[in-house]
Structure 1
């Protein structure tokens, strides 16, 4: 009996994955690995140039194809590839290429991977800026951390970014969401059909062996890509407010701050005398996390879930964060460390975890439980493959039921198409003129 041909998957990435630089890329790599385990034929395409820490997809058996924006060359490429599934990594790629995929491969399942809702993150950033402008208090941010979903919607709804992002979600057949909070926001406030949203958080395996014990660890650690605005804001809050409070209680304490793409403004914060060490990029994030006693993640805004905090659990490292940092990450389970809203409480909790071995070991055990029950790779990988199969089997019904998505594709993709074709023609005329 002939075996069925493997599914052909095209992934269109905003950037080439850099799993050692960002949790977003790590999530994409986990999805790619899930597809590879199914024996699917994968092509990864991107209009971006390769980054400094780009993963070697070719070594994994994945084709790498550079593509161009606003170019009919993509039409030929996608028509010849004839993918069964197209996964857009970030909504801007759906805007750019979605209409071309629909035109040339109408039966392909169109999926969107969202590491976080960008419009939610930007709305929260704006709220923080307003709070900082209105008050000199750099300590208490309780009011920022528990808004109702309706309040989040009202801050997002009038922005162009939200209109673009939510429209892209509607236009896709399936959207992979890392945050259950964001799923509820989209369903309850933006009225997306629940069946086009699938919870797919970070997918990890249990640690291979026991984590380093309390006595073999030292120092505090903070880690995150400096290009990600929430991470940079957290570093500034630590430097100016949180870390001086910790040092007042632990005068010999040391904080190691790691991050990819360290800018000069971050390097300038390095001060060994204050125990504040800017360490640049970590070659092995799990190695440095495993050596630290406590992970600090004082995020004042953001969205999605936080890869650094999953890494902390994998390494058995208790973490201290805010409600924004822990959002959608632990369900009904206790947090493996501490959650606080003020700099004083964050500092106090961090010092207690650092000094109290019994509490530290309990937090480590809570992390093991949370990993097993919330992030198990095999559970989420199987659920993702099953959801994709259901969508492909019922694709026409799914699209018919998502009337708003079809309406948006009919209208907005026409405008996107005509704009792209206008740019394409402009570029062609410029090339001819230059010759």
Structure 2
């Protein structure tokens, strides 16, 4: 059974955000076919304390790293190392891996292409500081990707973005993954109930709700005054709390979103910038809930606009698409069924598991990286020094 070392900043919390749910689900699938050791390492390299999220990993058959990375690598020789996000592929961690397990293949899970998200924000705001932040992020992110044997992207769009910058890089797509329940009965939905789900540590979600409540919702209420919006998501800032009104319920974090996905009539995702694949869109469609979003919200899925979901890239069009679903039950049912069938075919657990297995098998067949002779000598001298001399000073 191949040995897999996963390095992340924290233990995944699948009830907090779609990216966390994806990560946890992928780890659970990997644990059935790999010996998985999970290291949650803080910025200073120490292990994060156990919590409820770490217990969920153990229940999934995953071993937790209890000590720092040097000790782990002296006793666990991985075939593959999985970095969650580019910023975990740090130079100090890479140095330790080169020293203790040079045969290991390295993989970075991009989750989304961060510099693309910042570039789209800079285009929206026109601010020079946003453009500078995007350039800095791009340099850091591409450096991390270039250090790996493989990069995982969540969509083919993200894959192409990476290949444009790193044409020789091996990039595989392992997208968001959704458990798909039975298709629901529209009669159980509450007509006029709109739903937004998204964690508010993510700036695009804050912008989306401010934009929707200020520019889109008033247009809908003009013709449909009974319309109400539910806002669900963790880490709600004051600016979002302040949106609460007779037409807006700010629920914040809820442990289970399913009851709300089953009762809502329409899912809205008015994202004006961002990158990657939007879990809120896929989750809503997996529950047979028709979605109105923007081109950013639909990005990466391969969906057909006006068939699988509705698109509105300005306030007037977005409001009109919501109103059309409220007024036309035939349109509502058709979009709901098309989106549901699409997610079930392409992003259900069985569908994504095949892509994950293919990526892992492909990585195992990548030849180990060759370490230059001068690097081998340097690593050998450093190892000898640590074993025979440095320990004396720690004992003193």
Instruction: With the length of structure 2 as denominator, give the TM-score of the two structures.
Output: 0.85
Provide the residue aligned with 2:100 in structure 1. Answer: 104
1:54 equivalent to 2:53? Answer: yes
Provide the residue aligned with 1:25 in structure 2. Answer: 20
Provide the residue aligned with 1:348 in structure 2. Answer: 320
Question: Residue 214 of structure 1 contacts residue 357 of structure 1 at CA under 8 Å; is this kept in 2?
Answer: no
Structure 1 alignment gaps of length 5 or more: 1-5, 68-72, 134-154, 401-405, 418-424
Relative to structure 1, is the Cα distance of residues 178 and 336 closer, same or farther in structure 2, using a 3 angstrom cutoff?
Answer: same
Provide the residue aligned with 2:288 in structure 1. Answer: 316
Structure 2 residue matching 1:44: 3-state secondary structure: strand
Listed as ranges, the matches of 1:27-42 within 5 Å are 27-38=22-33, 40-42=34-36
Relative to structure 1, is the Cα distance of residues 224 and 247 closer, same or farther in structure 2, using a 3 angstrom cutoff?
Answer: same
Relative to structure 1, is the Cα distance of residues 217 and 252 closer, same or farther in structure 2, using a 3 angstrom cutoff?
Answer: closer
1:211 equivalent to 2:189? Answer: no
Provide the residue aligned with 1:251 in structure 2. Answer: 225
1:264 equivalent to 2:258? Answer: no
Whole-Å separation in 1 of the counterparts to 2:124 and 2:28: 37
Relative to structure 1, is the Cα distance of residues 156 and 328 closer, same or farther in structure 2, using a 3 angstrom cutoff?
Answer: farther
Question: Residue 114 of structure 1 contacts residue 176 of structure 1 at CA under 8 Å; is this kept in 2?
Answer: yes
Provide the residue aligned with 1:393 in structure 2. Answer: 365
Relative to structure 1, is the Cα distance of residues 50 and 328 closer, same or farther in structure 2, using a 3 angstrom cutoff?
Answer: farther
Provide the residue aligned with 2:45 in structure 1. Answer: none
Length, aligned pairs only: 370
1:287 equivalent to 2:272? Answer: no
Listed as ranges, the matches of 1:161-180 within 5 Å are 161-180=137-156
Structure 1 residue matching 2:275: 3-state secondary structure: coil
Provide the residue aligned with 1:45 in structure 2. Answer: 39
Listed as ranges, the matches of 1:56-135 within 5 Å are 56-65=56-65, 73-95=68-90, 97-130=93-126
Provide the residue aligned with 1:136 in structure 2. Answer: none
**Offset of residue 124 of structure 1:** 1.2
Provide the residue aligned with 1:181 in structure 2. Answer: 157
Structure 2 residue matching 1:251: 3-state secondary structure: coil
| CA displacement, residues 269-318 of structure 1 (integer Å, 9 cap, x when unaligned) | 2112xx01111112211221121000010000000001011111111100
Relative to structure 1, is the Cα distance of residues 8 and 276 closer, same or farther in structure 2, using a 3 angstrom cutoff?
Answer: same
Provide the residue aligned with 1:228 in structure 2. Answer: 202
1:239 equivalent to 2:213? Answer: yes
Whole-Å separation in 2 of the counterparts to 1:264 and 1:241: 19
Structure 2 alignment gaps of length 5 or more: 43-47, 383-389
Whole-Å separation in 2 of the counterparts to 1:181 and 1:335: 20
| CA displacement, residues 373-398 of structure 1 (integer Å, 9 cap, x when unaligned) | 321322331232233223222324xx
Provide the residue aligned with 2:3 in structure 1. Answer: 8
Whole-Å separation in 2 of the counterparts to 1:50 and 1:261: 21
**Offset of residue 36 of structure 1:** 2.0
RMSD of the alignment, in Å?
Answer: 2.9
Whole-Å separation in 2 of the counterparts to 1:214 and 1:388: 43
Whole-Å separation in 2 of the counterparts to 1:216 and 1:185: 39
**Offset of residue 213 of structure 1:** 1.4
Structure 1 residue matching 2:27: 3-state secondary structure: helix
Structure 2 residue matching 1:300: 3-state secondary structure: coil
